[in-house]
Amino acid sequence: MNRYLWPLVIFVGVSLLLWRGLSLNPREIPSALIDKPAPTFSLPTLHQPELAISRDTLKGKVWVLNVWASWCVACLHEHPIISQLSGKIDLVGLNYKDTRSEAIKWLEQNGNPYNVSAFDQAGDVGIDYGVYGVPETFVIDQVGKIRYKHIGPVTQEDLDGKLIPAIAEIRDSGSKG
């Protein structure tokens, strides 16, 4: 019995592994930053270069950092979804490797859901946040810890099923540790 059963067992095992591999998204890299303090930054705002915004500007609040750019096609898809958060939570844009004029024009055309956008022309803050694909969305808690990260465009399902529940949970529980 053994002799004939073993190849079958191995075949099923390998099949299961491969099947699982098919359903994994290689672009979804687990963030090293979850539950770590959000990297500090200080950047000029998009609309008023003389004004600076930093991580600690929003200390004590739960807020969302959304990385976007006018050259990013997926950001346009995400835009109406992210805009639903406007007014419900402090929503900060991180305008990533963009030009000021293009970015402002993009917001005028598509609407500006952000309380404020930080202007990261060189992409250095992006590197600090481990950004490798725009758009990316971070939820940061009251003490400045990153509690949730979404890579790629947020869909309606992501918003209703993941992002909003994550925000609610952080608001309820306060900060961990």
Partner 1 sequence: MPLVSPAKVEIVQFETVEEQALYKKLINELRCLVCQNQNLADSNAELAIDLRRKVKGLITEGSTYDDVVDYMVSRYGDFVMYRPPFNQSTIFLWLSPAVLLVLTFSVVIFRRRSAMDQNVSSNFDQSQHAKVRELLKDTKDQN
Contacting residues toward partner 1, per CB under 8 A: 26-27, 29-33, 36, 39, 97, 122-124, 126-130, 132-133
Closer to partner 1 by Cβ: residue 44 or 133: 133
Q: H-helix or E-strand containing 148?
A: strand 146-151
Question: For residues 123 and 96, is the Cβ–Cβ distance under 8 A?
Answer: yes
Give min distance, CB of 6 to partner 1, in A: 8
Closer to partner 1 by Cβ: residue 2 or 23: 2
User: What are residue 21's phi and psi, to 5 degrees?
Assistant: -60, -35
**Distance (Å, whole) CA 119 – CA 96:** 7
Closer to partner 1 by Cβ: residue 39 or 44: 39
Give min distance, CB of 171 to partner 1, in A: 27
Closer to partner 1 by Cβ: residue 51 or 127: 127
Spell out the residues 6+ positions from residue 116 whose beta carbon is closer than 8 angstroms to its own.
45, 46, 47, 53, 92, 93
Q: Which residues pair with 21 in a beta bridge?
A: none
Collapsed DSSP state (helix, strand, coil) of residue 65: strand
Give min distance, CB of 135 to partner 1, in A: 14
Cis peptide, bond prior to residue 80, ω within 30 of zero: no
Give min distance, CB of 137 to partner 1, in A: 17
Closer to partner 1 by Cβ: residue 16 or 127: 127
Give min distance, CB of 53 to partner 1, in A: 21
